[in-house]
């Protein structure tokens, strides 16, 4: 805070000098019009109830000094600009620009970008540096020893059953900070050649909530530490001759470097690696350790690795007679990542010589570094012609190749959750290569004097991939659009698309690998019929008034032979109605209302894997275990805005109101759900089904409850210039979020619960807030 | 187990559609100029004179104020570069007669665009003629105002680019007001952070060759390549995320675990008794006598569901990361 005052004061002095300078110069006749210059200095006050961080998600609205500065000078030959905003705060920004008209542009910008997760998060973990998180060893020992009355991780949802770690947890603000510096230069060598160079560096620090499980009932959430930087460099040479076209060659390099290759965190259930006293393969690990917490003393995971990407691109445009152009680009890309691969496990009871005879693949890593490389080739060629005012034709061919040339990694041996060594035959990396060929052609027929065009198009989009159930898929799309754009009273734009997707090269083995039924299809690769449409109608009965109606819909049906499980259908519809009224130069206002709907249908079967035991009950084949889920979300949106610019003497008033209301419901159906909802659950006891779940429980099915939220925002800003160059501003912003989310757990007093059933978390979740920010400021324009 | 690298599928030209595309393209290139014989593009008329200072005595509102601060006013451009019959208009007005009106109102979008592209068909506008905006007759002046721009940059008709885009793309405006969104409404990003609205080469008018390549610009840690990769992640970020906004954490399109169930739905033996999360065992309290580790409502933990355990869902560099749990 002290820094903010000092920086603001310094800038105030600096700006005062500029003002004085400007005033002195004002006496001399101006040679050229000056660019708008102003600065605002004031005080901001923010009050919040509830989730303060969510109110300030990407902003720093802390109470204190508030500042904005625009300084500019234009000499007729060049222009200089300087701007700064929210000086001294997490979201501060500064920009300096120089433009020598027609020859040179220089720019330097710095932007701070916070991402505030929650200010009342809490954790019993202590940061030990290098992304290592520790828990009190004595407490872990008590939990490991199962001392009477000690609860390590809760097995009861009741909020008054506290984990012993609750008392050790301390509150901390969880946020991440992204600081970006962007430097640019564009130089016009002569009338047809130019070069440009840009450099951007982004530093990301702070924390973010991150899952860190030892398994189902031993799930942690850690405030993972962030410390990484991305440097991006671009250099281009462009040559253009307006009558003939242009060509541009460009290099782009992007380099990501993280300071943390791993994250390590203590197991709250154990102070030492689990040891059942047996020799491999019966121990010393617990074969069920990945589900019951009988795992390691601490866990270790790999963080997203440092990596780089280099791209060389060439763009070209060739202009021909008859309003004909041929353009395209070619880009060669190489992505590489060669970070050290971490050991299989942190568990010393597994990572030792006694284990390796039974799990030989764990004795040594297949290779010590990732040695991962992707070669990319992207090519586009575009042809467009408009030989007459009545007809136009365009054609495009696009080729994208993402070729993963990383050597296969044999993942047959692994250690699950650092708890259990495993051998899973056939687990090789797939090499996620993607090769896409897209051809698109369209013809436009125009009635030029009527301002109306009808366009027909065809797209064939063919994709080949590795590691998927369908190796290939092809989308065939027909498209028709109507645009009536030049009538004084209305504009109409409509488009209708019909797509048929056909998947081929089905590999049932890929579905089996994931434990799925043979009739499962992945929606993004299986056969699909899609109808997509949109309509935009703008009515302008007078020059002062317009009404806009926007409708759109997308309807997907996932079908094809054998498709019984998975996502079966999905629908999106959207309707928005808006109106604007321009009374005069001083008064404009508008309003909008919209409804978006999303709906999807999934089908599943709850079953054990097929056992093939003769005479045994096979739930795998029992259609009575089928269930469906209808996921439906409706979002209503509204907005109102009013601008009164000098409608009152020397005063500008701007007002806006925004509203968004969402209701997401989950409706379960199918025979299995009907069984569960039966009063006595007798139906659950199908032949051979002796699950304990039915014992003494009237129903153990609990559907997900609706997730809802309502967000409102109101902003008003009043600016009164009591002198031509001096004024006062008063702004107020109000926001309110009401939200219910079954995935957020609280204590009885509404504060975050960090020890919900089966986990030690940071308490991060979706919570309501009400926030208000008032800014009073002095404005000086010169 | 198959892979692209091992399939040896040969040249990309082996695809029939590719040959069709190339053939048709070459044919069109050869034929189009022939069809357009005699309709060669005329170079703009020489525009000696008729600069802002010549016209401002009558059109001070158009060439004063904001226009005077634009590059158009500063550069060696004149009114006659864009407006036609200026001299005739001046003479007629001087003589008190009705003459040609150099207004651009009513001019076809394609013609207007061509005027602008005379100078601007380079850089970001290089492929504008092939863009969806151009092909559907959206004119430059639908978004830009030459004489009374309201934006700090790009001479837009509204204060910022998002407001310009929202005038047609209202569903995107609505999405930006959802709880999980990119910082567009906070002014830290703009539509133009991801889209080049003049783009005709790349999909969805993106500023990168693909959706994923675009996302990697800021989310470089997701770029990998990883030792273990999740196929839909590598193929298309929007398989799971809606970059325009969502009501679910991390801009995912559906609430977890529902999102993951779109693909991973049928019994996998994953849950011991072969039952699925949140249906048979989605209860807040483990039943009496339930085994240790009985899956309960924690499967819905903090909006993360499946990613509670499958935490490195974007890819893993761990040798034990085949299921993205390390």
Return all residues near A140 (Cβ < 8 A) that are at least 6 apart.
A152, A266, A267, A268, A269, A270, A271, A297
Tokens of residue A604, six digits: 């599943």
In 3D space, the residue among A548, A527, A528 whose CA is nearest the CA of residue A537 turns out to be: A548
| Alpha-carbon distances of B237 from A331, B212, B215, B240, rounded to whole Å | 21, 6, 8, 6
Q: What is the mean pLDDT of residues A104-119?
A: 97
Q: What is the pLDDT of residues A570-581, one digit of tens each?
A: 999 999 999 999
Q: What is the mean pLDDT of residues B202-212?
A: 93
Q: What is the pLDDT of residues B84-114, one digit of tens each?
A: 888 888 889 888 888 888 888 888 888 899 8
Q: Are A742 and B301 in contact (CB under 8 A)?
A: no
Q: How far is B34 from chain A (nearest CA, A)?
A: 9
Across the interface, whether the CB atoms of A766 and B294 are under 8 A apart is answered no
Q: Where are the domains of chain B?
A: 125-207, 218-285+295-308
Q: What is the pLDDT of residues B17-61, one digit of tens each?
A: 444 444 544 554 444 444 444 333 333 344 456 777 788 888 888
Q: What is the mean pLDDT of residues B268-281?
A: 40
In 3D space, the residue among A530, A566, A536, A565 whose CA is nearest the CA of residue A548 turns out to be: A536
Q: What is the mean pLDDT of chain A?
A: 89
Q: What is the pLDDT of residue A16?
A: 42
Q: How many CB atoms lie within 10 A of CB B70?
A: 15
Asked if residue B282 has pLDDT above 50, the reply is no
Beta-bridge mates of residue A234: A198, A252
What whole-number percentage of chain A has pLDDT above 90? 68
Q: What is the pLDDT of residue A248?
A: 95
Asked if residue B280 has pLDDT above 90, the reply is no
At A683, phi and psi to the nearest 5? -60, -20
List the 123-152 stretch of B: residues with Cβ below 8 A of A: 123, 126-127, 129-130, 134-138
What whole-number percentage of chain A has pLDDT above 70? 91
Lowest mean pLDDT among A173-177, A472-476, B17-21, B245-249: B17-21
Q: What is the mean pLDDT of residues A624-647?
A: 93
Beta-bridge mates of residue A304: none
Q: What is the mean pLDDT of residues A446-460?
A: 90
In 3D space, the residue among A41, A38, A43, A37 whose CA is nearest the CA of residue A10 turns out to be: A41
| Alpha-carbon distances of A130 from A214, A263, A264, B318, rounded to whole Å | 21, 8, 9, 17
| CA pair distance A498, A529, nearest whole angstrom | 8
Asked if residue A327 has pLDDT above 60, the reply is yes
Q: What is the mean pLDDT of residues A628-638?
A: 95
Lowest mean pLDDT among A327-341, B141-155, B175-189: B141-155
Asked if residue A734 has pLDDT above 50, the reply is yes
Name the pLDDT band for A389 (thresholds 50, 70, 90).
confident
Report the residue from B74, B278, B322 with minimal CB separation from A427.
B322
Name the pLDDT band for B266 (thresholds 50, 70, 90).
low
| CA pair distance A756, B196, nearest whole angstrom | 46
Across the interface, whether the CB atoms of B225 and A366 are under 8 A apart is answered no
Q: What is the pLDDT of residue A741?
A: 87
Across the interface, whether the CB atoms of B225 and A248 are under 8 A apart is answered no
Q: Identify the residue among B8, B27, B32 best suited for mutation to test binding to A, counting A beta carbons within 10 A and taking the highest.
A: B32
Tokens of residue B181, six digits: 């969104």
Asked if residue B2 has pLDDT above 80, the reply is no
Across the interface, whether the CB atoms of B17 and A437 are under 8 A apart is answered yes
| CA pair distance B176, A534, nearest whole angstrom | 19
pLDDT greater at residue B11 or residue A379: A379
Across the interface, whether the CB atoms of B293 and A240 are under 8 A apart is answered no
A23, A25, A28, A33: CA torsion to nearest 10: -90
Q: What is the pLDDT of residues A58-85, one digit of tens each?
A: 999 999 999 999 998 888 788 889 999 9
* CA neighbours closer than 13 Å in the CB half-sphere of residue A250: 21
Asked if residue A50 has pLDDT above 90, the reply is yes
Give the single-character DSSP code of A303: P
Q: How far is B57 from chain A (nearest CA, A)?
A: 17
At A657, phi and psi to the nearest 5? -140, 130
Q: Identify the residue among A100, A411, A460 best suited for mutation to test binding to B, counting B beta carbons within 10 A and taking the highest.
A: A411
Lowest mean pLDDT among A27-41, A112-126, A223-237, B198-212: A27-41
Q: Identify the residue among B41, B162, B293 best suited for mutation to test binding to A, counting A beta carbons within 10 A and taking the highest.
A: B293
Q: What is the pLDDT of residues A569-610, one digit of tens each?
A: 999 999 999 999 999 989 999 999 999 999 999 988 877 777
Rounded to an integer, what is the distance from CA A440 to the centroid of its chain? 29
Lowest mean pLDDT among A101-105, A684-688, B144-148: A684-688
ipTM of this model? 0.91
Asked if residue A475 has pLDDT above 50, the reply is yes
Across the interface, whether the CB atoms of A695 and B121 are under 8 A apart is answered no
Across the interface, whether the CB atoms of B177 and A402 are under 8 A apart is answered no
At A359, phi and psi to the nearest 5? -130, 70
Q: What is the pLDDT of residue A462?
A: 96
Q: What is the pLDDT of residues A403-433, one digit of tens each?
A: 999 999 988 999 999 999 999 887 777 778 9
Which of chain A's residues have a Cβ under 8 Å away from the Cβ of B66?
A: none
Q: What is the pLDDT of residues B213-258, one digit of tens each?
A: 999 999 999 998 999 999 889 999 999 999 999 999 999 999 887 8
| CA pair distance A361, B219, nearest whole angstrom | 34
Q: What is the pLDDT of residue B65?
A: 72
Across the interface, whether the CB atoms of A604 and B276 are under 8 A apart is answered yes
Q: Are A175 and A117 in contact (CB under 8 A)?
A: yes
Tokens 């209701």 identify what position?
Answer: A663
Name the pLDDT band for A450 (thresholds 50, 70, 90).
confident
Across the interface, whether the CB atoms of B268 and A437 are under 8 A apart is answered no
| CA pair distance A578, A537, nearest whole angstrom | 10
| CA pair distance B319, B326, nearest whole angstrom | 8
Tokens of residue A629, six digits: 């889920």
Burial zone of A353 (CB within 10 Å; 0-12 exposed, 13-18 middle, 19+ buried): exposed
Name the pLDDT band for B63 (thresholds 50, 70, 90).
confident
| Alpha-carbon distances of B224 from A209, A227, A782, B229, rounded to whole Å | 21, 17, 50, 9
Q: Please say whether the dihedral angle defined by the alpha carbons of residues B268, B273, B276 and B277, taken in this order, is positive or negative.
A: negative
| CA pair distance A206, A174, nearest whole angstrom | 8
Which of chain A's residues have a Cβ under 8 Å away from the Cβ of B21?
A: 395, 397, 437, 439
Q: What is the pLDDT of residue A687?
A: 46
Tokens of residue A703, six digits: 């559907």
| CA pair distance A459, A476, nearest whole angstrom | 6
Determine the residue of chain A that is closest to B74 in CA distance: A76
Q: What is the pLDDT of residue A158?
A: 63
Asked if residue A442 has pLDDT above 90, the reply is yes
pLDDT greater at residue A543 or residue A535: A535
Across the interface, whether the CB atoms of A607 and B270 are under 8 A apart is answered no
Across the interface, whether the CB atoms of A221 and B201 are under 8 A apart is answered no
Q: What is the mean pLDDT of residues A528-550?
A: 95
At B216, phi and psi to the nearest 5? -65, -15
| CA pair distance A247, A237, nearest whole angstrom | 8
pTM above 0.95, yes or no: no
Asked if residue A692 has pLDDT above 70, the reply is no
Kind and range of the H or E run holding A208: strand A193-211
Across the interface, whether the CB atoms of A328 and B201 are under 8 A apart is answered yes
Asked if residue A232 has pLDDT above 70, the reply is yes
Q: What is the pLDDT of residue B150?
A: 85
Report the residue from B126, B276, B320 with minimal CB separation from A315.
B126
Which of chain A's residues have a Cβ under 8 Å away from the Cβ of B301?
A: 219, 221, 743, 756, 758-759, 761
Asked if residue A299 has pLDDT above 60, the reply is yes
Report the residue from B68, B186, B326 with minimal CB separation from A58.
B186
Lowest mean pLDDT among A71-80, A204-213, A487-496, A548-557: A71-80
């Amino acid at each position: 805070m002290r820094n903010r005052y000092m920086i603001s004061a310094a800038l105030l002095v600096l700006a005062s000098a500029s003002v004085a300078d400007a005033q002195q110069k004002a006496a001399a006749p101006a040679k050229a019009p000056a660019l708008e210059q102003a600065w605002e200095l004031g005080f901001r006050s923010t009050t919040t109830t509830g989730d303060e961080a969510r109110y300030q998600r990407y902003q720093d609205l802390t109470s204190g000094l508030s500042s904005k500065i625009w300084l500019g000078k234009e000499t007729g030959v060049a222009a200089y600009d300087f701007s700064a905003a929210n000086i001294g705060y997490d979201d501060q920004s500064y920009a300096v620009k120089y433009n020598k008209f027609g020859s040179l542009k220089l720019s330097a910008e710095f932007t701070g970008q916070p991402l505030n997760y929650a200010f009342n998060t809490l954790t019993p973990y202590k940061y030990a540096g290098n992304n290592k998180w520790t828990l009190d060893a004595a407490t872990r020992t008590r939990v490991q020893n199962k001392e009477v009355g000690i609860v390590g991780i809760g097995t009861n949802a009741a909020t008054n059953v506290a984990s012993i770690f609750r008392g050790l947890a301390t509150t901390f603000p969880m946020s991440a900070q992204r600081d970006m510096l962007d430097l640019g230069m564009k130089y016009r060598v002569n009338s047809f050649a130019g070069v440009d160079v840009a450099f951007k560096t982004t530093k990301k620090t702070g924390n973010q909530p991150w899952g860190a499980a030892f398994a189902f009932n031993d799930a942690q959430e850690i405030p993972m530490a962030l410390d990484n930087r991305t440097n991006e460099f671009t250099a281009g040479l462009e040559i253009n001759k307006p009558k003939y076209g242009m060509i541009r060659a460009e290099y782009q390099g992007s380099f990501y470097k993280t300071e943390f290759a791993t994250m390590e965190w203590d197991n709250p259930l154990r102070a030492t690696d689990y040891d059942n006293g047996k020799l491999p393969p019966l121990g010393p690990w617990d074969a069920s350790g990945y589900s019951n917490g009988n795992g390691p003393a601490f866990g270790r995971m790999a963080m997203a690795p440092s990596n780089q990407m280099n791209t060389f691109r060439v763009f070209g445009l060739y202009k021909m007679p008859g309003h004909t152009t041929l353009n395209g680009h070619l880009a060669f890309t190489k992505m590489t990542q060669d970070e050290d691969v971490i050991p299989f496990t942190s568990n010393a009871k597994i990572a030792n010589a006694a284990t390796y005879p039974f799990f030989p693949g764990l004795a040594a890593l297949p290779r010590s570094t990732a040695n991962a490389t992707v070669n990319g080739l992207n090519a586009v060629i575009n042809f467009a012609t408009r030989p007459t005012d009545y007809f136009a034709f365009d054609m495009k061919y696009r080729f994208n190749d993402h070729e993963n040339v990383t050597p296969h990694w044999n993942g047959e041996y692994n250690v699950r959750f650092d708890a259990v060594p495993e051998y899973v035959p056939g687990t090789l990396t797939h090499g996620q290569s993607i090769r896409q060929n897209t051809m698109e052609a369209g013809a436009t027929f125009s009635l030029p004097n009527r301002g109306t065009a009808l366009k027909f198009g065809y797209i064939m989009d063919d994709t080949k991939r590795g590691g998927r159930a369908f190796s290939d898929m092809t989308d065939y799309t027909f498209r028709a659009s109507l645009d009536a754009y030049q009538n004084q009273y209305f504009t109409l734009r409509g488009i209708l698309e019909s797509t048929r997707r056909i998947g081929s090269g089905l590999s049932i083995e890929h579905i089996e690998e994931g434990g799925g039924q043979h009739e499962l299809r992945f929606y993004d690769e299986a056969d699909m019929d899609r109808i997509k449409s949109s309509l935009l109608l703008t009515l302008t009965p007078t020059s002062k008034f317009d009404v806009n109606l926007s409708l759109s819909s997308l309807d997907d049906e996932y079908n094809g032979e054998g498709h019984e499980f998975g996502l079966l259908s999905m629908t999106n519809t959207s309707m928005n109605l808006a109106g604007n009224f321009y009374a005069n130069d001083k008064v404009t206002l508008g309003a909008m209302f919209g409804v978006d709907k999303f709906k999807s249908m999934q089908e599943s079967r709850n079953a054990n894997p097929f056992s093939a035991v003769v005479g045994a009950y096979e739930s795998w084949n029992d259609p009575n275990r089928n269930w469906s889920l209808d996921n439906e979300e409706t979002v209503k949106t509204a907005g109102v805005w009013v601008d009164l610019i000098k409608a009152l003497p020397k005063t500008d008033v701007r007002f806006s109101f925004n509203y968004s209301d969402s209701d997401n419901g989950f409706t379960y159906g199918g025979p299995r759900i009907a069984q569960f909802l039966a009063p006595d659950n007798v139906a659950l006891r199908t032949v051979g089904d002796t699950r304990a779940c039915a014992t003494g429980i009237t129903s153990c099915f609990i559907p997900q409850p609706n997730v809802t939220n309502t967000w409102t925002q109101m902003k008003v800003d009043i600016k009164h210039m009591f002198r031509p160059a001096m004024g006062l501003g008063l702004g107020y912003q109000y926001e309110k979020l009401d939200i219910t989310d079954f995935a957020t757990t609280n204590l009885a007093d509404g504060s975050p619960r960090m020890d919900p059933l089966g986990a030690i978390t940071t308490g991060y979740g979706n919570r309501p807030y009400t926030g208000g920010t008032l800014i009073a400021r002095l404005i000086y324009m010169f | 187990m198959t892979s692209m690298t091992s399939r040896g599928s040969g040249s990309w030209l082996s695809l029939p559609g590719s040959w069709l595309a190339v053939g048709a393209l070459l044919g069109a290139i050869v034929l189009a100029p022939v069809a357009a014989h005699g309709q060669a593009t005329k170079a703009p008329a020489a525009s000696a004179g008729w600069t802002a200072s010549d016209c401002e005595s009558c059109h001070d509102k158009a060439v004063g104020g904001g226009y005077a601060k634009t590059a158009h006013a500063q550069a060696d451009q004149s009114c006659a570069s864009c407006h036609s019959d200026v001299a005739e208009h001046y003479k007629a007005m001087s003589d008190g007669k009705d003459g040609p009106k150099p207004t651009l109102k009513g001019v076809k979008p394609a013609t207007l665009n061509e005027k602008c592209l005379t100078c601007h068909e380079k850089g970001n506008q290089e492929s504008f003629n092939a863009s969806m905006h151009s092909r559907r007759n959206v004119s430059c002046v639908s978004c830009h105002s030459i004489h009374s721009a309201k934006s700090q940059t790009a001479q837009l008709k509204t204060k910022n680019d998002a407001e310009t885009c929202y005038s047609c793309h209202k569903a995107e405006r609505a999405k930006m007001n959802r709880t999980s969104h990119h910082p567009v409404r906070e002014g830290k990003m703009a539509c133009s952070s991801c889209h080049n609205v003049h783009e005709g080469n790349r999909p969805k008018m993106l500023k990168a060759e693909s959706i994923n390549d675009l996302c990697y610009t800021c989310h470089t840690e997701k770029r990998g390549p990883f030792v273990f990769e999740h196929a839909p992640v590598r193929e298309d970020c929007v398989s799971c995320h809606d970059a325009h906004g969502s009501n679910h954490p991390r801009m995912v399109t559906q609430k977890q675990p529902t999102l993951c169930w779109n693909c991973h739905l049928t019994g996998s033996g994953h849950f011991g008794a072969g039952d699925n999360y949140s249906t048979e065992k989605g209860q807040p309290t483990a039943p009496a006598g339930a085994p240790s580790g009985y899956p309960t409502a924690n499967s819905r933990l903090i909006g993360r569901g499946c990613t509670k355990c499958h935490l490195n869902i974007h890819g893993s560099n761990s040798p034990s990361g085949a299921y993205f749990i390390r």
